[in-house]
Amino acid sequence: MQKFILSLLTAGCLTAVSTVATAQENDSLSVSDVEFTPAEELRIEEGQVSDGIDSLLSLWYIKNTMDSKEMRSTVDSDALPVFYSDSIYEACLKQIPTTFPLVYNQKVKDWIEMYIRRGKYLMPMILGMSQYYFPMIEPVFDKYDIPLELKYLTIVESALNPRAVSRAGATGLWQFMYGTGKMYGLEINSLIDDRRDPAKETEAAAKFLKDLYNIYGDWALVIAAYNCGPGNVNKAIKRSGGKTNFWDIYKYLPMETRGYVPAFISVNYLMNFYKQHNYTPVQVQMPAYSDTVMVSQKLHLGQVSEMLGISMDLLRDLNPQYKKDIIPGQLKPEPLRLPADLAVKFADQEKEIYAYKDSIYFAPQHGTPEFRQTASSTAARSTTASTHRYTPEPCDASIPAGSTKLFYTVKQGDTFGFISNWYDVKITKLKCWNNIEGNRLNVGQKLTVYVPTKKLNTYKNINTMTFEQKQAQKSNAIVAQSSTTGKTLDKNFEYYTIKRGDNISTIAARYQGITDQDIMKINGFTAADVRRLQIGQVIKIRRKN
């Protein structure tokens, strides 16, 4: 059995802290017999909401977004919060297609209006992050026949922060405790914590929710048990005289669980009707297009960062499961998620990346303050022999014949990898042309780039395009190139067009009975082909019946 103890509200939403008690449950840990008035409960909850928002704003990718013009324009408005009458809230909840009973009462109203009062910063960021995480969650829930609206528990649990850790050690989007993670097959050791891997923890959460549903057959009780543990729910049912409706056992539950379900209902309301309250999603600075490569040797994220020109912060956001920035691929292949363009470059330079500064990054003192202070100078002067020592490619600033000079102005979120991909040039060339040695780019910085004159029309407008347009142009070019082979779609097959956020696993999860290997086999894909899949590309799924 798993017991969840709610200890704080994070980012305007409840965050569950879970404790596993398999053979024994200490119900006294979470059951509170202290009675609070509704006003006292609301005051406690609102104070915790405020603390949670401060916690959310301290995250790197949120602070990065806060610096953007879009975010400032979204939150700098002095417009007053928009509230509606009880009848409108209730009517709106009834319009939401759900198998979960979205009951409206005073407690739910208190939570809705608390979110609205505190939502100036919270809601735009949550809405933005949901565009990144929900497409990852929905296919998994569909596979396990879990109501899709339960994805909103990630807002209630962690405010969509995969690195969230509660005071009691609950971790990840779904806030699993150590024992629960192990129980559901998540790898947790000194280097890896799969609770921080959104995909793996979501799979475990779906299994756990399904197990709870097999016990109760009622999703409201499932959510309550997810929060405080089946032992506390069973005790509340017994104290109520055997009633099995959440609102009938409400007063017998721990105080924190009494607020948990109303908070979940309120999140459902706001995620469906945020426009009516003048909230607009911001494009949180998370990577929009990513892909996974498998790492088969020991690798440090610092090696990847330096070789591919991607920031460590972004790498950590993409791969939060690696607690010490080390991927122990020598033990078994481990996934590394990268922006889509850099996944291709990793495949092309894999051996060089493994060897790059390996004796430095895996020196015994790595990670100590002394190492961090002297790493760069040590790397420069180190003569410690490594049989696989990487020798940097000499800087070659020569300009190819038949080239035209263009200028590109660095935008928020740009990396050397993205820019080199858009212009079809090597990162080393781009750096040499601009006399840049490190990996740092500054917004507004002007870069020189040379492109083939005969293809000038392909590149001349890149500087004025949005990020999405640049990525789409690259994808369309690949699709157009494949179409020149003269191949036409075979009407005997079912096809899928790759969209933003897709990978081979999420695509397979959309189709019952189809696996990653099935898709690879029917398309004749190698592992390298899978790494190169692009938005807009059309792939076979299965033969039509």
Secondary structure (DSSP) of 415-483: -HHHHHHHHT--HHHHHHHTT--SS---TT-EEEEEEEGGGHHHHTTGGGS-HHHHHHHHHHHHHHHHH
Tokens encoding 493: 């097959």
In the numeric block, which tokens belong to residue 201? 């923890």
Q: Which of 165-179, 436-450, 524-538 has the least mean pLDDT?
A: 524-538
The pLDDT-based confidence of 182 (bands split at 50, 70, 90) is very high
DSSP state of 393: P
Q: What percent of the chain has pLDDT over 90?
A: 33
Provide the pLDDT for residue 227. 85
Collapsed DSSP state (helix, strand, coil) of residue 304: helix
Task: Identify whether the C-beta of residue 261 lies closer than 8 Å to the C-beta of residue 246.
Answer: yes
For residue 224, pLDDT beyond 90 = yes
**Over 50: is that where the pLDDT of 2 sits?**
no
**Cβ contacts of residue 260 below 8 Å, gap of 6+?**
6, 14, 16, 156, 223, 224, 227, 228
Cα-based distances in Å from 112 to 49, 106, 368, 448: 12, 10, 46, 51
Note the pLDDT of residue 390.
37
Q: What mean pLDDT do residues 498-518 have?
A: 74
Whole-number pLDDT of residue 286: 63
Q: Is 14 helix (H, G, I), strand (E, B) or coil?
A: strand
The catalytic position among 25, 45, 149, 157 is 157
Residues ≥6 apart with Cβ < 8 Å to 456: 404
Has residue 337 got a pLDDT over 70?
Answer: yes
Where is pLDDT greater, at 316 or 55?
A: 316
Query: Residue 251: pLDDT above 50?
Result: yes
Q: pLDDT higher for 373 or 240?
A: 240
Rounded to 5, what percent of the chain is helix, strand, coil?
50, 10, 35
Query: Quick one: pLDDT band at residue 414, thresholds 50, 70, 90?
Result: confident
DSSP run (H or E) holding 16: strand 13-20
Check pLDDT > 50 for residue 170.
yes
pLDDT value of position 37? 62
Query: Which pLDDT value is given to residue 189?
Result: 94
Give the per-residue pLDDT at 288.
Answer: 52
Mean pLDDT score of the chain, rounded to an integer?
77
Rounded mean pLDDT, 107-135 = 85
Lowest mean pLDDT among 31-40, 129-138, 243-252, 365-374: 365-374
Average pLDDT over residues 393-408: 84
Q: Which of 25-29, 171-175, 376-380 has the highest mean pLDDT?
A: 171-175
Paired strand residues for 328: 298
Phi and psi angles of residue 171, each rounded to the nearest 5 degrees, phi first: -135, 145
Lowest mean pLDDT among 289-293, 297-301, 431-435, 529-533: 529-533
| pLDDT at 404 (0 to 100) | 93
157 counts as catalytic = yes
Position 17 scores a pLDDT of 25
pTM summary value: 0.61
Instruction: Find residue 270's DSSP bridge partners.
Output: none
Structure confidence at residue 94 (pLDDT): 94
Confidence check: pLDDT of 483 > 90: no
Lowest mean pLDDT among 204-213, 226-235, 361-370: 361-370
pLDDT at 270 over 80: yes
> Above 70 in pLDDT, residue 133?
yes
pLDDT category of residue 239 using cuts at 50, 70 and 90? very high
Can you give the pLDDT at residue 259?
84
pLDDT of residue 90: 95
